Amino acid sequence: MNFFWNSFLGYNLSLCPQGPGDAGAEAYPTKPLRFIVPYAVGGPGDILARLIGRKLGERWNQHVEVENVPGKGGSVGAAAALKAPADGHTLIRESALDKSQPLR
């Protein structure tokens, strides 16, 4: 299980700024994160998002708030993420299957 988390987080967070080149950069995250889940509470997508949120919180030493916004096959949750401030503190859990409908 530990191998799964290390490889999963390592792969998905590989684009995050880190290392000596960013020594003067502001620490991230600077406030609690909002993790939008466009699925109902208690389903597999929600459970996975809560597990990921817990691990991210441990790694970043910051609280991760998991917020379920179900409806219209994920479109309502995606719209909520689009309306969030562009400060980098809002995440969304999506899958390739959710991309079948355009946002309106």
How confident is the model at residue 97, as a pLDDT? 54
d(CA 62, CA 75): 28
Each of the 104 residues of the chain gets a pLDDT tens digit; together they read 565 555 555 544 444 444 445 555 678 889 999 999 998 999 988 999 999 999 999 999 999 999 999 988 888 998 999 999 999 999 998 875 555 555 55
How confident is the model at residue 14, as a pLDDT? 44
